[in-house]
Amino acid sequence: MSRRTEKLESSITKLSTQSPDNPVCEILCVHTDLMVSVRETLIPGGQAHHLADLFKTLGDPTRIRIMDALAKNECCVCDLAELLELSQSATSHQLRVLRSKQLVKYRREGKMVYYSLDDDHVMALYREGLEHISEGRA
């Protein structure tokens, strides 16, 4: 057997080797009928980008902490800044990012601005995420 053949066989063996942390199929078998039905309902590329962008926005611990506070109570910028030990400017910036993704909304009361989660969908998204990480998966 030539070295090239040995190298190729070695590569094939490595590709098909199972790993407990990354299981893969040992043979190639595409279930065409299933793929046809899934393809018909697969999320369109544009929506996938918007959803990925939403999750990217939620990928910041400061924004998560803001959402956590707002899940418990409506808060003004001053209170959020104090609670999170941030400047009002930094807090306002994070709120602007959350507002641009329609995750939070605000209302004005005189000279005060109060923020809250945008709607029940945002609250449900937050709670589902929190429940998911609390399940104790290793």
Q: Please tell me the distance from the alpha carbon of residue 3 to that of residue 9, in angstroms, as a whole number.
A: 10
Q: Please tell me the distance from the alpha carbon of residue 90 to that of residue 66, in angstroms, as a whole number.
A: 12
Radius of gyration of the chain, Cα coordinates, nearest whole angstrom: 24
CATH architecture of 45-134: Orthogonal Bundle (1.10)
Distance of CA 38 to the CA centre of its chain: 22
Q: What is this structure's pTM?
A: 0.75
Q: Please tell me the distance from the alpha carbon of residue 91 to that of residue 7, in angstroms, as a whole number.
A: 57
Place of tokens 């808060």: 75
Per-residue model confidence (pLDDT) at position 25: 86
Give pLDDT tens digits along the chain (138 positions): 555 545 444 444 444 556 778 888 888 888 999 999 999 999 999 999 999 999 999 999 999 999 999 999 999 999 999 999 999 999 999 999 999 999 999 999 999 999 999 999 999 999 999 999 998 765
Domain residue extents for the chain? 45-134
Place of tokens 């990354």: 22
